[in-house]
Structure 1
Amino acid sequence: MVRILTALRRNVAGAWGAAGERWLADLPDLLAGLAADWDLVLGPPYDLTFHYVAAVRCADGTRAVLKVGFELSVEAAALAAFDGRGAARLLRADPDRGALLLEQVSPGDRLRDLVPDRDPEATEVLAGLMRRLHVPPVAGLPTVLSQVSALDGHRGAVPADLVGPAAAAMRFLCATATREAVLHGDLHHDNVLRGTRDPWLVIDPHGLVGDPGYEIGSILFNPDPGDRDPALTALVPARLRQLSAALGEPVDRLAAWGFVKAVLSEVWTADSGGTPSRARDVAELLRPS
């Protein structure tokens, strides 16, 4: 019996409408087919909200993770490009069925547990992961600049005096990039797990190609972006200085990317009906950049 979490049902139906409802109705048969074809024993699902993700056991006894959902081909391409360097390994993929079989990262403690008491240590981990993940561009991934359309089309709750400058800055930063790489696209403390093969491994890449500076954006307003504690926002300048030194990137350029990504996050949140988060506070802090 497949247990479909309430949040998963609500979010899939909300994001994909009738297609999402059909996918949910077909999910038990889809999982049964994957288990048979890939010789898997399904375990309980994780408490995630936009994809069905469950622990599985493979025929040889290996523990792995099955992820099934919409639009996973880009994630598969990013994981294939990373090839296990700083990221969970992609063991198998079926794009037609929207299914990924992934390395199980164990013990799986999240990097967020180091914040705020050991924030410099967490920031150093993230910088080290970026140095490993940022391989040369590959085909099949969207560009960072493609995301500017969300800013151009926003007519909602995020003020125009944030959205307009963010769109202009994004175009400038992309045009002046000295190199491009494969990016995780949503690198932050909740997407980094403690492993055994490597000390820390990333999961859930969005998969983009572009200026590596874009990658630092999500770090600045995570973890817990819903928590608008000023003490967490106050970590941003120190994080920027540390990332600049570790990555060899100008601090003002990273601050500009941080502003862009914070505004983008707020636009996506507003467009999905959410309320302002700490990303708004970070955007205001970095606006002068």
Structure 2
Amino acid sequence: MTDGTSSTVISDDIKRRWSISSAFLLADTPSSLVYRVTRADGTQAVLKTLKPRGIGELPGMAFLSWRDGNGTIRLLERHDMSCLLEDAGDTTLRHYRLQHGEAASNVIVADVLTRLHAAGSAAPSELTPLDRHFAALFKTSPDRHQPALGEPLDFARQLASQLLATQDNVKPLHGDLHHDNIVSGGARGWLAIDPQGLIGDAAYDVANIFGNPLNALPDIINPQRIKSLIVLFSQILTCPEQKILRYAIAHAGLSICWSLEDGTPFEDSENAHERLAFIQIARTLLEL
């Protein structure tokens, strides 16, 4: 398989190596090509091949190998920049939530999170430290066309600095847990996919849930939902409620910076607008 975004052909070497008889392209993103494949024995799997921009996803593969299916899909095999993954199904938690509601969705989040954070063997060395993960927040400055971002990003930076300097319960983290990265439909039920593969304070691993799911802004900025998630996650992770909230706000700032790094103007970035709205509401719940 080549690196070009226009090419979606699986190499003969990969076909032979993993006995792939047929394939269906699921996604062609700037970082990877993703297929659902059928193997010679009739079983299905997912083939993911990273492009040069996707090299940052390799720690996620190390996380999958370390977790060995406990809360995550299994990494079946890996060769260079290609990985053969367990096929966990097509139903995302975002779609499930639309049908069954927030409370039912959070039961699943809690179960997956508990399994992700269960004790394991020694952490793999390839994981990305949390302070490096936050780099964009500290190097991105909004330009003069984005005055609304200056103070909120400064506030998020201050929180992140304090949090990163006082981490505890440091462990391997999924790093990108949200409603589109929890899926079901396979034999093993709900599983997390697409980890970032971080190592750091356990409280960070739920930060992205607060800004999700997609197209749910009224819920994302609902103070009662924010409070409910804070209580739920602090109980599961046995850490202070305010710490959960602080990481959620810091992550929202980081997410805005990623959007700006992608070159999307702030006025055109739905993600940046949603994360800014979350920061504005969430910070009113902080105990300063």
**Residue 80 (structure 1) shift:** 0.5
> Any conservation in 2 of the 1:220–1:239 contact (CA below 8 Å)?
yes
Which residue, 114, 120, 123 being the options, matches 1:131?
114
- Asked if 1:160 is matched to 2:150, the reply is yes
- Asked if 1:208 is matched to 2:198, the reply is yes
Which residue, 43, 52, 61 being the options, matches 2:23?
43
Runs of at least 4 residues of structure 1 off by over 6 A? none
Please give the per-residue CA displacement for 1:250-275, whole angstroms capped at 9, x wherever unaligned: 11110000001111111111221331
The corresponding residue for 2:182 is: 192
The corresponding residue for 2:275 is: 279
The corresponding residue for 1:119 is: 102
- Distance, in Å, in 2 between the alignment partners of 1:273 and 1:257 is 25
CA-atom RMSD in angstroms:
2.3
**Residue 285 (structure 1) shift:** 1.4
Choose between structure 1 and 2: higher strand proportion: 2
Residue ranges of structure 2 left out of the alignment (5+ in a row): none
**Residue 124 (structure 1) shift:** 2.5
> Any conservation in 1 of the 2:34–2:47 contact (CA below 8 Å)?
yes
The TM-score, its normalising length taken from structure 1, stands at: 0.83
The TM-score, its normalising length taken from structure 2, stands at: 0.83
Residue ranges of structure 1 left out of the alignment (5+ in a row): 3-21
- Distance, in Å, in 1 between the alignment partners of 2:110 and 2:237 is 7
Q: 1:165 to 1:47 in 2, by over 3 A?
A: same
**Residue 149 (structure 1) shift:** 2.0
Percent of pairs identical after alignment? 26
- Distance, in Å, in 2 between the alignment partners of 1:273 and 1:115 is 31
The corresponding residue for 1:8 is: none
- Asked if 1:80 is matched to 2:65, the reply is yes
**Residue 27 (structure 1) shift:** 4.5
**Residue 48 (structure 1) shift:** 4.9
> Any conservation in 1 of the 2:175–2:195 contact (CA below 8 Å)?
yes
Q: Secondary structure at the match of 2:46?
A: strand
Amino acid at match of 1:110: T
**Residue 53 (structure 1) shift:** 0.7
The corresponding residue for 2:92 is: 110
Amino acid at match of 1:177: Q
